[in-house]
Amino acid sequence: MKILDEKGLSGLVKRLLDLIFLGGIGIFLSLPWSVKWYISLLENGVSENYWFLLFFLYITGFLALLIVNEIRRIFKTLNRRNPFMMDNVNSLKRIAVASFLISAAYIVKIIFFNSFMTIILVMVFIIAGFFSIILAEVFRQAVIVKEENDLTI
């Protein structure tokens, strides 16, 4: 089985990311109704938390959609067998910024609605942010080497 090809594993992952992105947009658009439904399931049903949760989920949802879209862009270049380009470096940097912003939002959420899962998500997105920064630097160096090799006769 091919790994890097539109018909290979990376193509399959790209199509899966497309579905995740479309599903995420659907969830993002349904947030006002979804949050009301979720609050009604809680025993307290306290509606004063509605606006905080809605605002919080809109911010983190937008950033998560941004991350998925950037990963889709990276997979598009992988499928074209041209991964070492500055566009991917910039995408990884945007993923890092979005990851750190999501972790900051979850740190704020700890103050209002602390849970064990919230703490785990803070750690996951901080690690994802650092991983993206490091991977962006690796890709940047690979781009430099690739450009030098392209100029060599």
What percent of the chain has pLDDT above 70? 97
Q: Does a structural domain hold residue 4?
A: no
Say if residue 79's pLDDT is above 70: yes
H-type helices in 2-115, by residue range?
9-29, 31-41, 50-79, 86-112
Residue 45 pLDDT:
60
- Which candidate, 123, 122, 126, places its Cα nearest to that of 134? 126
Q: Does a structural domain hold residue 2?
A: no
Q: Does a structural domain hold residue 3?
A: no
Predicted confidence (pLDDT) per residue in 14-38, tens digit: 999 999 999 999 999 999 999 988 8
Q: At what angle do helices 50-79 and 9-29 cross, to 10 degrees?
A: 160
Kindly list the distances between the CA atom of residue 51 and the CA atoms of 1, 97, 122, 136, in Å, as whole numbers in the listed order. Answer: 49, 25, 21, 36
Q: Does a structural domain hold residue 25?
A: yes
Predicted confidence (pLDDT) per residue in 3-16, tens digit: 888 888 999 999 99
- Tell me the CA end-to-end span of the chain in Å, nearest whole number: 33
Predicted confidence (pLDDT) per residue in 92-114, tens digit: 999 999 999 999 999 999 998 88
Task: Give the total residue count for the chain.
Answer: 153
Dist. CA 31–CA 129, nearest whole Å: 26
Say if residue 84's pLDDT is above 80: yes
130 phi and psi angles, rounded to 5 deg: -65, -40
Q: Does a structural domain hold residue 1?
A: no
134 pLDDT band, cuts 50/70/90, is: very high
Count of structural domains, the chain:
1
- Give residue 132's domain range: 9-151
Q: Name the strand (E) or helix (H) holding 83.
A: none
Residue 17 pLDDT:
97
Q: Does a structural domain hold residue 138?
A: yes
Q: Does a structural domain hold residue 42?
A: yes
